[in-house]
């Protein structure tokens, strides 16, 4: 049997700074989420560059500042980015 390269499943989560998400229209938010989900389902890690979001980072901010000082939320759910989606079982 020949070896084949296995595609990894990409992540479906889309996180952006909360201020940017609030300023986006519903159609813009849905377009970004749809692009990320379609990329993930085809095994890609990144969404297409056609769905890039302009104006998410303040002018002059370093990349480290941008990640540490912004309030990142999940575009699809509105929950804080990195929050667990699984519900804990009650004992």
Sequence spans of domains, the chain: 13-45+62-79
User: Which residue bears the tokens 């998410």?
Assistant: 56
Strands (DSSP E) contained in the chain are 15-17, 72-74
pLDDT lower than 70: segments of the chain: 1-10, 84-91
State residue 4's pLDDT score: 56
Asked whether 61 and 77 are in contact (CB, 8 A), the reply is: no
State residue 88's pLDDT score: 59
State residue 22's pLDDT score: 92
Per-residue burial over 51-68, b = 16 or more CB atoms within 10 Å of its CB, e = otherwise = bebeeebeeeeeeeeeee
Question: What is the three-class DSSP state of 64?
Answer: helix
Q: Report the run of H or E that residue 28 belongs to, with start and end.
A: helix 26-41
Query: pTM for this one?
Result: 0.68
Summarised one tens digit per residue, pLDDT across range 70-91 is: 888 999 999 998 776 666 566 6
User: Which residue bears the tokens 């296995």?
Assistant: 6
């Amino acid at each position: 049997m020949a070896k084949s390269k296995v595609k990894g499943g990409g992540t479906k989560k889309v996180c952006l700074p909360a201020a940017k998400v609030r300023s986006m229209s519903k159609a813009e938010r849905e377009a970004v989420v749809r692009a990320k989900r379609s990329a993930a389902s085809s095994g890609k890690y990144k969404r297409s560059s056609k769905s890039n979001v302009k104006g998410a980072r303040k002018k002059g901010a370093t990349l480290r500042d941008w990640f540490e000082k912004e309030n990142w939320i999940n575009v699809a759910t509105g929950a804080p980015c990195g929050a667990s989606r699984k519900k804990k079982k009650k004992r």
